[in-house]
Structure 1
Amino acid sequence: MNLKESYRYANYLDALLNTAYRYLQNKGFVTTTKQNHLRSKANSEATDEVIELQKPYDVDFTPNTVIDFVVKVITEKELLADAIVKAKAGTEINIDNAIAMNKKKQGFVSVLNGLANMKSSEKIIQGTDYKFNQEGNQTKYFYTVEETTQIDFDRNDVRNLVKKYLKETDEVSSKLDAIEINTIVNHIPLFDVNENFEDLVGV
């Protein structure tokens, strides 16, 4: 499998584990509840009856089967992770660092785009103050305020940085795509990603 397929397989293994945990965390699945209906104590003519409550899932496997399956999946996940690490070590760039830096640069581009869209502006607003009238009483009055807002940065520099980082991140993304397709992970999958949990654990 190539690196891209190994990522898909890793996600598939995680999905299997999550499904297994849902079964194991369901009290009704991991326990058996029986009710002993002692009717004869209240009615001498009635018959006592033991009733086993229905399980929440109609499946052919037991909690122990699921536990054993989880052990198998975790072992497979560990082997896959080791194989991925070895495959990544032989690539021309450090994949994890490249992805992390791309995210940082894309986050900065988002901030820069917000700055690039800012403009200097002018607007008229209303101000309020107080004065004493002829009777000596304090009264409120309104007046015009001319408000001017100027940007304190060079918008051209910001736009150039956006272009620079977008170009860099696009180039890295293209290189990563090529690496994911062309890098071979030395691991033979134990499971087929098209098989569902119930079919696998029931085997």
Structure 2
Amino acid sequence: MNLKEAFRFQNKLQSLMEEAQSILGDDDNITRVQNTYLRRKVMKDFQDETTEEAPRTEYSQQITAVAEFLLYLLEEREKLTVAICRAKAGLDLPAGLDGQVSLNARRQDIARLLRHMAGLRSSEVVIPNGGTGYCFNNEGNQVSYHCDVKRVTTIHFDRNKIRKMCAALSRKADAVSAELDAVLITTQVDYTRPFDVNDTFAEAFGIFTGDGD
């Protein structure tokens, strides 16, 4: 598989592990609860009645197998992680794959900021009744009044330079993105997945236990 597929399967393994942990982490799934109603103690003609609480999961009869499956998934996650690490180590990227991905995310963030700056314009608007104040009227009483406000906004930077910076950074980010996409597709990872990435938990568990189709 290539790196892109490897990362996708890594996420799949994590998702399956979380589902297994959720099953095992619920005491109602891993214990059996029986309630016996001691009716004969209060009514000698009655019989005691025992009921069992229904489990929350369909895997209630396979809890030990689910635990084994969880450890199996962890082993597969370790194998895949090692294989991905080895594949990434052979890449000709100065900052490494993770470093390049992180750096390019910052480039894209800064490009969005510069694009916002480049879109700003100087402006002048009048805000009706936008200002308030106090004065004394003819009777000598202090009263409030409203007045219009002229708001002048002026950009405080060289827009042309900002535009050029934004364009250059965007080109760089796009080029690196294309390079990273190519790397993800062409770089091979020495790992064979034990089930399909689209398999459900039940399907993957069935393959593990030998009950799958």
TM-score, normalised by the number of residues in structure 1: 0.89
Q: Secondary structure at the match of 1:123?
A: strand
1:177 aligns with 2:181: yes
Counterpart CA distance in 2 for 1:68 and 1:142 is: 75
Percent of aligned positions with the same letter in both sequences? 35
1:91-110 aligned within 5 A: 91-93=91-93, 94-110=96-112
Equivalenced residues, count: 203
Match of 1:44 in 2: 44
| Structure 1 residue aligned with 2:28 | 28
Determine if contact 1:17/1:70 at 8 Å carries over to the other structure.
Answer: yes
Give the letter aligned to residue 53 of structure 1: E
Q: Relative CO higher for 1 or 2, CA cutoff 8 Å, sep ≥ 6?
A: 1
1:194/1:142 CA distance change after superposition, 3 Å:
closer
CA contact (8 A) 1:2 1:185 kept: yes
**Bigger shift: residues 22-31 or 187-196:** 187-196
Measured after TM superposition, the shift of residue 49 of structure 1 is: 2.5
Amino acid at match of 2:181: D
Secondary structure of 2:35's aligned partner = strand
Aligned-residue offset at 1:190:
2.6
Amino acid corresponding to residue 165 of structure 2 in structure 1: L
Q: 1:92 to 1:50 in 2, by over 3 A?
A: same
How far apart are the structure 1 equivalents of 2:159 and 2:123?
14
Q: Deviations over 1:47-91 (max 9, x none)?
A: 112222111123374222111111111111011111101101111
Match of 2:151 in 1: 147
Deviations 1:82-122 (A, max 9, x none): 11011011112121111101110111122122212211111
Q: Is 1:81 matched with 2:85?
A: no
Task: Tell me, in whole angstroms, the C-alpha distance in 1 between the residues paired with 2:74 and 2:137.
Answer: 84
Question: Given residue 195 of structure 2, which amino acid in structure 1 is its aligned partner?
Answer: F
Q: Any unmatched runs of 5+ in structure 2?
A: none
Matched, 1:72 2:76: no
Q: Find the aligned partners of 1:182 and 1:42 in 2 and give their Cα distance.
A: 77
Distance 1:91 1:44, change over 3 A: same
Verify the 8 A CA contact 2:30 2:60 in the aligned structure 1: no
Structure 2 vs 1, CA of residues 61 and 81 (structure 1 numbering), >3 Å: closer, same or farther? farther
Q: Which residue in the other structure is 1:115 paired with?
A: 117
